[in-house]
A and B are shown apart, each in its own frame.
Chain A
């Protein structure tokens, strides 16, 4: 095999084995062109939702991808499991052995790098073989479960599709066990219900059970608690942590909430306008944020302590998020950056050159010309 790079070698977490190694990944969406654009032959424009990112996802860990709406975090999650086809770049993923065997049989010329395959290059018709290895939990449990199916049928369907379980009885056992796994008991009773008979938190646990059933290695959890009541959120988070600890499942946890990311993850990556701007452990990110954007996010978090309410909150950012169609030159954060104001010596660089993610402190990476 002519591969020159050892792709199993990660960039960010030297002590970890990575289940996924993402290199230079992009996902652009075309902007619809109006009649006048065509007549005037204006060039096609793109929303650069994910713009040349590098990321490692360590095995058996929770990595949180944090950012504001529109920063590309959901697009990243969907692209990593090939729910979107990437525009360019590589996603090296180590499938389960049986999946790899199946892929070897089915795909004519499959490049295998040390047990990893580049799923970004996998033709669309073979992507379904990855579903036993990678699953997703969506944000909205009110629309992600078919309202006309009973919970049992919702959970049995993936088993049928992937030909798992010899008989109806065996599948039934698997479904009930999955429900018990996420503490939906009595499982028999829950299985017979329709989604509308469950609360939001219970539905979200059905979604977790469904993702769990095919015994995946990797789960993308896209804001799974955004629509759940505060008093019940921790229950969902604890289920996810149990998947990691008990089943060694790797989770990419997508959230806009740094506090929650800080509470459940092993590593955090902060995203801004299609780029990852900072990577580190939760404690490092929260106590010692390096990138000015991360600093702004942390300062904006509301604190449940009424003694500060007679002061205005310090807002460490200017303006509003620009459109992902017209991304600013150089560092895409510079028009909003407060540190930019105070460091005239680097301003020219910030305006013209894009900073790369570099290791600023041990295990703590930031893409900023300050460093």
Chain B
């Protein structure tokens, strides 16, 4: 297997007026070519910040303060803005942003918006770029003639398809989809997930899917990272994480998913910690049903709990 992305010791902090928010605080993982990777966690766990970090596109007052993101021999974390624009964004790593409804500008036609990354990054004329845009639209299940339409003429699902087409247009190595279906209805969501799968099989895109919804993850990703309060708590192949969850947070999260056919309702008591001042030991300790003394004292290291399956929990000591 070929490693296409290697993230080591990544720290991304937000320097706010009320303190430093450690949104991503020491994250390590690798991604292999051909696999879809999921990053799951609840709001505020740092998953979107991690996604933005992978393009070195963290909005101020956020900043990557430490660590490396190695892609194709380049360290994205340390590149300057010009080389990021010229070499990385859209060409190597592209992103389908959250909230397709608002990500398109209402005043330009779809064709012009789709062509824009090509004109800026690809050094070709707008007419040529629009021709290329027409070629990519059928791949995402859209009629090429919609290049002459405005965003308000499209449904939410169609707009999301346009956003996916835009991410694909420079033929990137990695496509990051940040909550690509949150604002969509369940049927449209199923259609978009089908599309992502097809793109993976037919075009060989390497997908990173960010979502709070583990059911969606199960439908798409091969390998899954669970984040909690700025840290990875568990990482493994989907079968293992869903079948043999090791970390108590993963177990609680899986239990919290309402299922058809059962009438059980479970939740994880308590709240995540304040990331301006995270607790010393394990960040999940306050909500953990199995908490021990050491959990509050020392941060848990990574334990290998299965083949390629890792968990950051002292229970595995």
A residues engaging B (CB < 8 A)? 68-69, 199-201, 229-235, 237-238, 256-260, 262-264, 286-287, 296-309, 312-313, 315, 317, 320-321
Q: Which residue of B lies closest to A68 (CB)?
A: B185
Q: Please, which residues of chain B bring their CB within 8 A of the CB of A259?
A: 258-260
A200 to B266, CA, bound (A): 18
B190 touches A315 (CB 8 A): yes
Kindly state whether residue B108 has any CB partner on chain A within 8 Å: no
Check B239 against A300 for contact (C-beta < 8 Å).
no
Q: A263-B263, A302-B189, A312-B198 are in contact. List 5 more A-B contacts (CB 8 A).
A: A68-B187, A231-B252, A231-B256, A257-B186, A300-B186
Cβ contact within 8 Å between A309 and B187: no
Residues of A within 8 A of B260 (CB): 258-259, 262, 286, 298, 301
Smallest beta-carbon distance A2→chain B, Å:
45
Minimum CB distance partner of B215 in chain A? A302
B308 located at the interface, meaning its Cβ lies under 8 Å from any Cβ of chain A in the complex: no
| Inter-subunit contact A302/B193 (CB<8 Å) | yes
* Interface contact B187-A300, CB-CB below 8 Å: yes
Task: Identify 20 residue pairs between A and B in the complex whose beta-carbon atoms are under 8 Å apart, listed by A's number.
Answer: A199-B271, A230-B213, A232-B256, A233-B258, A234-B266, A238-B265, A256-B185, A259-B258, A262-B258, A297-B187, A299-B190, A302-B190, A302-B213, A304-B259, A305-B242, A309-B219, A309-B238, A313-B190, A313-B193, A315-B194
- A-B pairs with CB below 8 Å: how many? 128
A230 and B259 contacting across the interface, CB-CB below 8 Å: no
- The reply on B146 being an interface residue by CB < 8 A is no
Interface: B261 (CB within 8 A): yes
What chain A residues lie within 8 Å of B142 (beta carbons)? none
**Closest A residue, CB atoms, query B183:** A69
5 nearest A-B residue pairs (beta carbon): A306-B238, A234-B267, A302-B215, A300-B190, A68-B185
B256 engages A230 (CB within 8 Å): yes
Q: B44 CB to closest chain A CB, in angstroms?
A: 8
- Interface residues in B249-301 (C-beta closer than 8 Å to A): 252-254, 256-269, 271
Indicate if the CB atoms of A312 and B42 lie closer than 8 Å: no
Please determine whether B218 and A230 come into contact, CB atoms closer than 8 angstroms: no
Interface size for B (C-beta < 8 A) is 48
B157 touches A301 (CB 8 A): no
Q: How long is the Cα–Cα vector from A84 to B158 in the complex, in angstroms? A: 32
CB distance from A282 to the nearest CB of B (A): 8
B238 surroundings in chain A (CB, below 8 A): 306, 309
Report B233-247 residues with CB < 8 Å from chain A CB.
238-239, 242
Across the two chains, which residue of chain B brings its CB closest to A235?
B267
**Partner pick for B186 among A297, A306, A309, A321, CB 8 A cutoff:** A297
Contacts of A201 in B (CB 8 A): 271
Q: Is residue B4 contacting chain A, with contact meaning CB distance below 8 A?
A: no
Q: A302-B218, A303-B219, A312-B197 are in contact. Are A234 and B265 (CB under 8 A)?
A: yes
Please indicate the chain A residues that have their CB under 8 angstroms from the CB of B262 in the complex. 263
Q: Do B42 and A302 touch (CB < 8 A)?
A: no
Residues of A with C-beta under 8 A to B242: 304-306
For A309, the chain B residues whose CB sits under 8 A away are 197, 218-222, 238
| B253, A304: Cβ atoms closer than 8 Å | no
Query: Which residues from chain A contact B257 at a C-beta distance below 8 Å?
Result: 230, 304
A296 to B214, CA, bound (A): 21
Q: Report the bound CA distance from A108 to B261 in whole Å.
A: 51
Counting CB contacts under 8 A, is B316 at the interface?
Answer: no
Inter-subunit contact B193/A229 (CB<8 Å): no
Residues of A within 8 A of B259 (CB): 259, 304
Interface flag for B191 (CB, 8 Å): yes
Q: Is B43 interfacial (CB 8 A cutoff)?
A: yes
B91 CB–A CB distance under 8 Å: no
Interface flag for B216 (CB, 8 Å): yes
Q: How far is the CB of A297 from chain B (nearest CB, A)?
A: 6
- Look across to chain A and name the residue whose beta carbon is closest to the beta carbon of B186: A300
| Residues of chain A within 8 A of B256, CB atoms compared | 230-234
Which of A229, A233, A238, A301 counts the most B-chain CB atoms under 10 A from its CB? A229
B212 contacts partner chain A, Cβ-Cβ < 8 Å: yes
User: Which residues of chain B are near A297, meaning CB under 8 Å?
Assistant: 186-187
Please name all residues of chain B whose beta carbon is closer than 8 Å to the beta carbon of A263 when the two chains form the complex.
258, 262-265
Complex interface: chain A residues within 8 A of B157 (CB): 320
Among the interface residues B265, B266, B268, which one has the most CB atoms of the partner chain A within 10 A? Answer: B265
Q: Would B198 and A231 count as touching, CB distance under 8 A?
A: no
A313 to B195, CA, bound (A): 10
Q: Are B267 and A232 in contact (CB under 8 A)?
A: yes
Residue on A nearest B228 in the bound complex, by CB: A231
| B155 is an interface residue with CB less than 8 A from chain A | yes
Q: Chain A residues near B188: list those with CB within 8 A.
A: 320
Chain B residues 150-172 with CB under 8 Å of chain A are: 155, 157-158
Chain B residue nearest in CB terms to A69: B185
Min Cβ gap B182→A in Å is 10
- Counting chain A CB atoms within 10 Å of each CB, which of B215, B258, B259, B263 scores highest? B258
Residues of B contacting A234 in the complex (Cβ-Cβ under 8 angstroms): 256, 258, 265-267
**Are the C-beta atoms of B216 and A302 separated by less than 8 Å?**
yes
User: Are B194 and A312 touching (Cβ within 8 A)?
Assistant: yes
Q: Given A230-B42, A301-B260, A306–B253 Cβ distance below 8 Å?
A: no
Q: Give A300 to B260 CA distance when docked, in angstroms.
A: 12
